[in-house]
């Protein structure tokens, strides 16, 4: 049983809670998630089963979409409504001011992760330092806001949609917007509507379902590994090459000249597929594909990044 299940995480549960539940329901030890959601948040949480846990690094770089509600005039230590209030004021802002400031956050910006987050400092997550009363100021890091749109303003609440790069904290975004407006703000509600190619339409809600039905639904809704990276080009390999790759072979130009290679630039990642057993490996091109014909036959064409046990 190998694949990915898209879970609709309920509010109040940690991402780890969801993984533990699936591990118990399926009776499988090797289960992991990609893209942590805070307990307050709901929505798309991809959960990887068995061999699919090796795919987590390829999902983590994906962009994400959220629907969020921020509360103006309230600052908390966690940057969301569940934290301790550290400042409160009447937000004297106009809708036009809010719209203008929102637009200022589109593009590449710098962001400081929240004190209560899983970002690590000296090997420990920031939230562990914060819980001990130790203040750690993490380094600013660059993230990108691709799109942001206000859906509703019922002041002091503002609901908006945002599409952003990996590593973006919506709690920090709300706090930064509040500071720019001069009144402060915190996150009031959050739902992830998309993570990479996975969206909320395919997400499975497990709360309130009988354990036997949960097991059946999880198995039925599991996405094959071959279908989880739809934008990554693929190369069909034969059984002999598939077995060699699973034994540690790094494909050379000579052997790849006999295969149908899509257009690739140096550094592109590719899926190696075997027709009967699915995903064999994810590899990185060491040379552009149009170099292949002129390459020395013994020169390495691809670097193997992950190999999957497809039962060959």
Q: How far apart are CA 227 and CA 233, in angstroms?
A: 11
Instruction: Give backbone dihedrals phi and psi of 278, rounded to 5 degrees, phi first.
Output: 85, -135
Q: How far apart are CA 221 and CA 230, in angstroms?
A: 17
Residue 214 neighbours by CB under 8 Å, 6+ apart: 25, 206
Question: Is 260 one of the annotated active-site residues of the chain?
Answer: no
Question: Which sign does the torsion angle of CA 53, 192, 5, 305 carry?
Answer: negative
Q: How far apart are CA 248 and CA 241, in angstroms?
A: 11
Q: How far apart are CA 227 and CA 177, in angstroms?
A: 38
Q: 253 is written with which tokens?
A: 């130009």
Q: Measured between alpha carbons, how far apart are the two ends of the chain, in Å?
A: 15
CA 51 from centre of chain: 18
**8, 17, 38, 231: the active-site residue:** 38
Q: How far apart are CA 294 and CA 30, in angstroms?
A: 43
Q: How far apart are CA 255 and CA 272, in angstroms?
A: 14
How many Cβ atoms from other residues are within 10 Å of residue 16's Cβ? Answer: 12
How many Cβ atoms from other residues are within 10 Å of residue 88's Cβ? Answer: 12
Active site residues: 38
């Amino acid at each position: 049983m190998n694949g990915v299940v898209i879970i609709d995480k309920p509010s109040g549960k940690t991402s780890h809670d969801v993984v533990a539940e699936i591990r118990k329901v399926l009776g499988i030890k090797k289960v992991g998630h990609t893209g942590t959601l805070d307990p307050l948040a709901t929505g798309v949480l991809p959960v990887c089963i068995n061999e699919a846990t090796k795919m987590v690094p390829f999902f983590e770089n994906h962009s994400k979409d959220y629907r969020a509600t921020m509360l103006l005039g309230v600052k908390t230590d966690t940057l969301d409504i569940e934290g301790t209030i550290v400042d409160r004021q009447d937000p004297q802002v106009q809708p036009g001011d809010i719209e203008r400031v929102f637009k200022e956050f589109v593009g590449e910006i710098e962001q400081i992760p929240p004190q209560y987050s899983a970002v690590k400092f000296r090997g420990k997550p920031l939230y562990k330092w914060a819980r001990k009363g130790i203040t750690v100021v993490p380094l600013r890091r660059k993230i990108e806001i691709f799109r942001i749109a206000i859906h509703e303003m019922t002041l002091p609440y503002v609901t908006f949609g945002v599409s952003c790069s990996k590593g973006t904290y919506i709690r920090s975004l709300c706090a930064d917007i509040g500071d720019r407006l001069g009144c402060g703000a915190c996150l009031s509600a959050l739902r992830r509507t998309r993570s990479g190619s996975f969206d909320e339409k395919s997400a499975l809600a497990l709360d309130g379902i009988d354990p036997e039905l949960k097991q059946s639904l999880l198995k039925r809704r599991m996405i094959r590994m071959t279908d989880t990276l739809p934008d990554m080009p693929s190369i069909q390999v034969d059984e002999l090459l598939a077995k060699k790759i699973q034994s540690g072979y790094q494909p050379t130009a000579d052997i790849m000249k006999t295969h149908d290679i899509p257009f690739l630039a140096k550094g592109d990642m590719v899926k190696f597929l075997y027709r009967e057993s699915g995903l064999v490996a994810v590899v990185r091109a060491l040379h552009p594909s149009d170099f292949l014909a002129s390459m020395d036959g013994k020169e390495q064409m691809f670097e193997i990044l992950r190999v999957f046990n497809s039962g060959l």
